């Protein structure tokens, strides 16, 4: 499961560079990606099952 985070964090900067984004900007994308993942994890911990049932959250994330 950790592999998903590593792949997302590693490839986002490389992809941005292939699209012509300078390294000075692309190097921040990994931090933004991993921060968004952590925020999503915390929102899931807080919201499930209090406001969103587990089956609906799974359907939304699929």
**DSSP assignment of the chain:** -HHHHHHHHHHHHHHHHHTT--HHHHTTHHHHHHHHHHHHHHHHHHHTTTTS-HHHHHHHH-
Instruction: Indicate whether this model's pTM tops 0.85.
Output: no
- 27 contacts 13 by C-beta, under 8 angstroms: yes
Total domains, the chain:
1
Sequence length of the chain is 62
Conformational region of residue 52, where left means phi above 0, alpha means psi within -120 to 50, and beta covers everything else:
beta
Residue 53 domain boundaries? 2-61
* Residue corresponding to tokens 């799974």: 58
Is the pLDDT at 52 greater than 80, yes or no? yes
Position 1 scores a pLDDT of: 62
pLDDT digits (tens, 9 = 90+) for 4-45: 888 988 899 999 999 999 999 998 999 999 999 999 999 989
């Amino acid at each position: 499961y950790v592999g998903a985070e590593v792949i997302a964090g590693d490839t986002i900067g490389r992809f941005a560079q292939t699209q012509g984004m300078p390294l000075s900007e692309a190097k921040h994308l990994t931090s933004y990606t991993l921060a968004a993942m952590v925020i999503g994890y915390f929102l899931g911990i807080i919201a499930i099952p209090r406001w969103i049932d587990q089956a609906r959250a799974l359907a939304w994330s699929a």
